[in-house]
Structure 1
Amino acid sequence: MRTVKYKHQIMKKIKFFLTLALLLSTLLNYSQQKPEGKKVRVTGKIVDKISSQPLEYSTISLVNTTTNKITAGGITDAKGDFSFDASPGTYNVKVEFISFKPLEIKGKVIKENTNLGTISLEDEATKLNEVVIRSEKTTVEIKLDKKVYNVGNDLMVKGGTVSDVLDNIPSVAVSVEGNVSLRGNENVRILIDGKPSNAININDALRMIPADAIDKVEVITNPSARYDAEGGGGLLNIILKKGKTNGLNGVIIATTGYPDNHGLSGNLNYKTSEFNLFTTQGYNYRSNPGNSLVETNYLNVGASSPNFINETRDNDRLNKGYNGNFGAEWFLDKNTTWTNTVNYRKTSGDNQDNVFFDRQYTNSSLNNFQTRINFEDSKSENIDFSSNLLKKFKKDGHKLTIDTQFSKNRDNNIATILDSQDGTDATVNIQKQSRNLIQADYVLPLGKSMQLEAGYRGDFSEQDTDVTVFNEGVVNNLFTNNLVYKEKVHALYSQYGFKVKKLSVLLGMRWEDSKIDINQITTSDFNNKKYDNFFPSAFFTYEISDKTNASISYSRRIQRPRGRQINPFSNYSSNINIFQGNPDLDPAFTDAFDLGFLKSWDKFTLNTSLYVNKTTDSFQFVRRESGAFVNGIPVILSSPINLATEYRAGFEFTLNYTPYKWWKLNSNFNLFRVETQGDFTYTNFLNNDVTQNFDNIATSWTARLTSKITLPKKIDWQTNATYNGPQTNAQGRSLGVFAMNLAFSKDVLKDKGTLSLNVSDVFNSRKRIMETNIPNLINSYAEMQWRERQITLSFTYRFNKPKNEKERQPKRNQDEGGGDFPG
């Protein structure tokens, strides 16, 4: 909900020294002008266009129409009033306030004392298809085609990671394994600053990057042609912090918690009229204890094989990590900005994974107990350099951006497995990845209500995964493999947007040429896949009123299999339940349709969406017998396959409500239906072909409720409750999961500091619970909890930086260099 009624109170806390700097600049220019005799008085008032609330610290400047220099000006007081002296003449009057659209009155003749009256400024966000919900801690910009979640000082993510940030965003969910889904669909493309991450395992990387480094997250459910076509379920664009405020300012955050969660991070920036230097630095030490349980009942087994196995697992993960970046913006002139950023991340971890097997036989005298202890030592190092050149032309909205990125990543993982029955095993896993990217975007306005966009992207990556498995010092050729994956994608796009009265139209076309090499060096199995595809998109938006919009959109998307999905070796911690990638996976294609409606009232904002997706060659995970046995126990493989067609339809709504100034509510509900159609055939250990029918219809739902309350003594209390409903699949079902987080904060040191306490997973209930039923093979029940309940205390200290600072970000961060609808 848009709480514009209280906006002026929030704006009071915006950087005063920034406004003062603007005023000093005005006065400096004024002082350099020659006296022109008598002076006249210029007065007036500046207010919010929607709420009519006065805007304190707004700036007003008189610009000489001949010299184009500021000759006089002033700022508004708490009532929004301004008053200053000026020489008589003809001026262009400029009115500005942070996060509002600047206003210009051209050719204003001022010959005597003049009252300019009440000047109304429009919020930067109140343009077509956009409503902004402002709160003490965060901002959520809800648009018809995306939601922008400004992390701000969100209590829930203090001391956390990017995964924690994503799990607090409407429409987004993070499973206990770290898999990110959007509206229940895990086919999501994740970008960082508009570019693909170079992390070998993106889910693991999101657990390593501290939440304090994140400025905002864009949730794009149905991307247009300007975006990368990857991700049938949509896009998540994670935008890192980059200081934008004049002078030297920053934030330091210290955290501690139980289980061990300690960290120190900070961001700093120094900006002048010629350049802006910014950096974010952080170190963390985290323990993530977890556990799992798999109870398997084997059907139709022989007398020497167990009927039942209870496999329990305890994990004790310890991660230590450094994450830092340094960047510089160089303002070459008033229309040209060159930004260069270096990011470096280094992590190390220890993981002791204790696996216990309790086997039960028909003949109870054969019952036995086995332990399997895995010791893992992992190290990861990532470095990337990115450069952005932004050139604005004379015409408003006419611009060119050029982006480049070069990055390298290396992961080393050494695991030693001590088995009470099978001896000692070891695994050495070395992964290296490099990515080079170049992108250019051009936006050309063709009048007041039309614009043309065009661009190119070249994305070139290579990943080398070298895995060696030893059994009692001898190489196990069944699991040893060296996989080299190379991907080259060239893309061209163009889109045309126009507005006719209240109707906005955006039509686009993207073409991507893909060349994929999947080479298994160990087995000399070389595969090459080439395909080029067109990805059209179309968006139609109708502005019913100032506070009501409706839209319909279509886009075509692609999902390329990568990493764990195609790697024939992925996990050897359990020798009877093994995940194995499929290097022969083909890409999946999605046609996405979305019908949206956005309505705002005084205290409510409602955003609804009805969506339908059709995915061909969709990825599905199947469990089957491998044909191998360990001590008479059949080894069960879990692998992804292309399973024909998937139909997904759903309805989602997000509701923001502010019943009182001290209480804010945000809720999100998603109901969806997934239908899969397809058969899978494999050869079992008896050399017989087995065909499984995977036709299945599943209906599920998710709900989220966030409450923010300001208690007496200015103590903030935030509660976040989520529920993921049960869902069936062709081989079983997943059970519903409820979880809740709590957080409290209190400002100290005259609002320069903030103490925060948060409890993640209050009831220790965030578990993935699965039931699997494979006819004539197994019935199983499984629970998996990645991280147990965690309590974190953090202290934030700000210097030269108000608590509720609001800054405008460059438009390229919002749309990868493109523009919004014209109009």
Structure 2
Amino acid sequence: MRQTLKLILGLSFFFSFWTTYAKIEKPIADPVKEKVKISGTVIEKTTKQPLEYATVTITDTKNPKAITGGITNAKGNFAIEVAPGIYNIKIEFISFKAVEFNQRNLQKNLDLGTISLIEDAAQLNEVVVRAEKSTVEIKLDKKVYNVGQDMIVKGGTVSDVLENVPSVTVDVEGNVSLRGNENVRIFIDGRPSNSLNMAEALKQIPADAIDKVEVITNPSARYDAEGGAGILNIILKKGKNLGFNGSFIASTGIPETYGLSANLNYKTEKLNFFTSTGYDYRTSEGRGLTHSTLFDDNKNIIGYTNEDKDTDRLRKGISSKTGMEWTIAPNTYWTNSISYRDNRGTNNDLVYYNSFDVDKNFISKRYRLSNGDDNSKDIELASNFLKNFNDKGHKLTVDFSYSNNKDNENSAITDETLNSGNPASIDQTLNNKTQDQFQVQTDYVLPFENGSQFEAGYKGNFNDLDNVYSVTTDDSGNPIEGYLSNTLEYKERINALYAQYGFKLNKFSYLFGLRWEDTKINVNLLDTQDFNTKKYNNFFPSAFINYEISDESSISLSYSKRLSRPRGRFLNPATNYSSNINLFRGNPDLNPSFTDKFDIGYLKKWNKVTFSTSMYFENTKNVFSFVRTETGDFVGNNPVVLSSPINLAKEQQFGFEFTLNYNPFKIWKINSSFNLSNSKTTGSYTYTNVNDDEITQDLNNETFAWFSRINSRLTLPAKIDWQLTGMYFSPRTTAQGKNLGNYVVNMAFSKDILKDKATLALNVSDLFNSRRMKSETNLTSVMSYSEFQWRKRQINLSFTYRLNMKKTDKDKNMPRNNGGDDNGGGEFPG
């Protein structure tokens, strides 16, 4: 609360100051005298945190009117030029006691050093302001999405949050893309998340546990090289102000959904205890269809098959992150936390196949029912040590984490042709995964007097995964031979070193870095005795140049080399068997892809508008691509088609995007984003089907696509907040067909009650029930049209109650290892 008051009222004071200053008659400068510079750094005395927007006023000792002045930047620094003379200098920040330097005779540059401001309790008690941070903060090197201000996601999950983040898209199955590229790395609190099923894991974390999301499209050498598209850093809520405070959130929805969570904190001068714990019960209904036309070898139509699918899913479980921060000594902190998630659920898929002859006369009707259950348990232990050697950014951090993930899925699949006289067949599937991961990381930051900064560090990531998957019949109980059953053993060892140096010359800022990663990966299929060892080490350079055109505008140029290691469903040989004619399986023989990323960005700020735009070019070798191959098997007249990822030769993508924040009035905020890109893929794929036929597919493809998003938030009469979000995804061609366009609209209302101690929010996801993935596929023996909707329209009602805190409280006393880029990594100096 206090930090928000400081920021908003500091801005108000700043605008007031400059309004006054603009009216001051400027004295005629003495052409003989050169100007001198007054500089310094303003911090909060208790926390040693820099104070942004603190005002510096310089007055003539003989005239009380202001001569000049300025404000501090994000690091608390200021530098002001004046003509030589005798002046009074005053440093102020709202709700803090001012510091004055009177009768200073300035004949040469003066460095006031570090100026510590103390809170004025009297002012804090008197000032009451209702102000909120923008939902989307645009920065030159990243975008920050503040979840707390978004009513749309109340009662939802991380997937719902990411749907509203600029540059990010989430498809109907929960797969995340950044600028249209799925090779994105997900971080949680600054650490890579290696969940066994990322799409599913993001649906298990409640949105109410998230503080903000950072979008980093071109990361520096400080970050993992993995993630060809970039990095999404999901930062969870943590402790806040001194004493006991927090919030409780209860939600319910249609289809049947319930949730209860608590974000609590107790902070003393030395210790800070925090927890974010919640229970979630969620049902979702989906549907899909695939209508196929079947051909013989001469491309003559031989029949039709209509496949209609209904899905019903249930998820329930608890998730918790609890920890303690200990202030060992001034500027020395040690934080330990434990995260635990236990989620269970059921998956019921019912698929009907209606077959027709060449004249579209009905032949038969078959159904396939899959009843499954799954349970997953994740536990993570994390420890962070932070030592600040001074107040200028010289520090050392050390992080350790260990996680264990278990995910077990079982299902029974009943297959029967109605009125055929044949009994139903029953198959059993088993998919059990266990993963252990250990990470260690250390970062050292050394700033210099001239404003430059050196940073270096090490990171080790050691990951073991065992995945047993089998499909058995009810007759013999033996695994079905072929491409359905196997046991995967995956071992990953990654060691990395990096160094980067940033400096500033006049209006130019530079950041150059180099990262080296040594990788050893074992991908072993134990049932078939197929062993693969992949070893490689690579250098990953990065470079950032920023030119500050003015205080309101700047332009940047950046380059980084990235890679994408195949993970999760890309490698997993487990085959989705809910449909026995449209299968999906991973490819354990995938190699990593490498990307060169170039980006030119421009940022401009006006009084009510912030505009950010960039042009980008990405050149990727060994790019991942999904192909649909005909296995040679048939179910009736229907060919069995297998979808699987492969390495293609290369992909080149050129794109343009912009983000716009506009506040036309105090009660109305608009955020919008737009992205368009042209992708050219080059390559072919040769495979042998079960009949030993060698088939070569030409996968060369060029596609143009765009997507846009607009978010409008308006305060209605009676202080009711209304939010409306719309997204549109354009059609795009593929090497084997086309993905059609689709749109989605979400809406929410919010009202503060109980003297602003509580909030009621009602939101509707997919207002028009339009979020469906539509595609067309053209293969040699089949041409099909498909639709799939993972989740139908959802309605949620949530109630939030705040204990000993106000709606505008900020995390000013949150633990120092907050997962954000708070140590200067990737930031420009100055």
TM-score of the two chains, using structure 1 as the length reference? 0.85
* Structure 1 residues 427 and 53, CA gap change in structure 2 (3 angstroms): farther
Deviation of the 1:446 alpha carbon: 2.1
Report which stretch shifted further, 321-330 or 45-54.
Answer: 45-54
Asked if residue 815 in structure 1 is aligned to residue 780 in structure 2, the reply is: no
Contact 1:442 1:818 in 2 (8 A): no
Q: Which residue pairs with 1:238 in the alignment?
A: 234
* d(CA) in 1 for partners of 2:45, 2:72: 19
Secondary structure of the 1:545 match is coil
Secondary structure of the 2:152 match is helix
CA RMSD of aligned residues (A): 3.0
Deviation of the 1:361 alpha carbon: 2.0
**1:280 aligned to which of 276, 282, 291:** 276
Encode CA deviations 1:773-807: one digit per residue, 9 max, x unaligned.
12x32111000100000100000000111011123
Secondary structure of the 1:294 match is strand
Deviation of the 1:673 alpha carbon: 0.5
* d(CA) in 1 for partners of 2:159, 2:13: 36
Q: Which residue pairs with 2:536 in the alignment?
A: 531
* d(CA) in 2 for partners of 1:135, 1:760: 27
Report which stretch shifted further, 231-240 or 302-311.
Answer: 302-311
Letter in 1 for 2:567: R
Report which stretch shifted further, 230-239 or 356-365.
Answer: 356-365
Deviation of the 1:671 alpha carbon: 0.7
* Structure 1 residues 720 and 364, CA gap change in structure 2 (3 angstroms): closer
* Structure 1 residues 725 and 365, CA gap change in structure 2 (3 angstroms): closer
Secondary structure of the 1:157 match is coil
Contact 2:218 2:597 in 1 (8 A): yes
Summarize the alignment of residues 562-573 of structure 1 with structure 2, pairs less than 5 Å apart.
562-573=567-578
* Structure 1 residues 717 and 483, CA gap change in structure 2 (3 angstroms): same
* d(CA) in 1 for partners of 2:586, 2:12: 60
* Structure 1 residues 47 and 794, CA gap change in structure 2 (3 angstroms): closer
Q: Which residue pairs with 2:443 in the alignment?
A: 441
* d(CA) in 1 for partners of 2:133, 2:357: 58
Q: Which residue pairs with 2:620 in the alignment?
A: 615
**2:715 aligned to which of 710, 714, 717:** 710
Deviation of the 1:260 alpha carbon: 0.8
* Structure 1 residues 816 and 179, CA gap change in structure 2 (3 angstroms): farther
**2:14 aligned to which of 32, 38, 49:** 49
Deviation of the 1:813 alpha carbon: 2.3
* d(CA) in 2 for partners of 1:8, 1:521: 59
Encode CA deviations 1:738-794: one digit per residue, 9 max, x unaligned.
1100000111000001000000000000010000112x3211100010000010000
Summarize the alignment of residues 271-670 of structure 1 with structure 2, pairs less than 5 Å apart.
271-300=267-296, 307-362=303-358, 367-394=363-390, 396-421=392-417, 423-473=425-475, 474-475=477-478, 476-478=480-482, 479-670=484-675
Deviation of the 1:496 alpha carbon: 0.6
Q: Which residue pairs with 2:796 in the alignment?
A: 792
Asked if residue 176 in structure 1 is aligned to residue 172 in structure 2, the reply is: yes
Q: Which residue pairs with 2:185 in the alignment?
A: 189
Contact 1:744 1:757 in 2 (8 A): yes
Asked if residue 11 in structure 1 is aligned to residue 18 in structure 2, the reply is: no
Deviation of the 1:368 alpha carbon: 0.3
Contact 1:49 1:121 in 2 (8 A): no
Contact 2:490 2:521 in 1 (8 A): yes
**2:807 aligned to which of 800, 803, 807:** 803
Deviation of the 1:239 alpha carbon: 0.7
Contact 1:13 1:804 in 2 (8 A): no
**1:777 aligned to which of 778, 781, 795:** 781
Q: Which runs of 5+ in 2 are unaligned?
A: 20-43, 47-54, 57-70, 80-86, 97-129, 418-423
* d(CA) in 2 for partners of 1:708, 1:331: 40
Letter in 2 for 1:791: I
Summarize the alignment of residues 105-120 of structure 1 with structure 2, pairs less than 5 Å apart.
119=92
Encode CA deviations 1:572-610: one digit per residue, 9 max, x unaligned.
111111112111111000000000000001111100010
* Structure 1 residues 354 and 721, CA gap change in structure 2 (3 angstroms): same
* d(CA) in 1 for partners of 2:610, 2:427: 58
TM-score of the two chains, using structure 2 as the length reference? 0.84
* d(CA) in 2 for partners of 1:772, 1:765: 21
Contact 1:304 1:632 in 2 (8 A): no
Q: Which runs of 5+ in 1 are unaligned?
A: 1-6, 16-44, 55-68, 72-79, 82-96, 106-113, 124-133
* d(CA) in 2 for partners of 1:244, 1:271: 8
Secondary structure of the 2:450 match is coil
Secondary structure of the 1:212 match is helix
Asked if residue 154 in structure 1 is aligned to residue 150 in structure 2, the reply is: yes
**1:698 aligned to which of 703, 727, 732:** 703
Deviation of the 1:480 alpha carbon: 1.8
Letter in 2 for 1:533: N
* d(CA) in 2 for partners of 1:307, 1:671: 39
Letter in 2 for 1:522: D
Deviation of the 1:631 alpha carbon: 3.0
Secondary structure of the 1:49 match is helix
Contact 1:812 1:818 in 2 (8 A): no
* d(CA) in 2 for partners of 1:818, 1:575: 52
Contact 1:441 1:818 in 2 (8 A): no
* Structure 1 residues 777 and 365, CA gap change in structure 2 (3 angstroms): closer
Deviation of the 1:135 alpha carbon: 6.8
Deviation of the 1:814 alpha carbon: 1.8
* d(CA) in 1 for partners of 2:3, 2:382: 38
Q: Which residue pairs with 1:88 in the alignment?
A: none
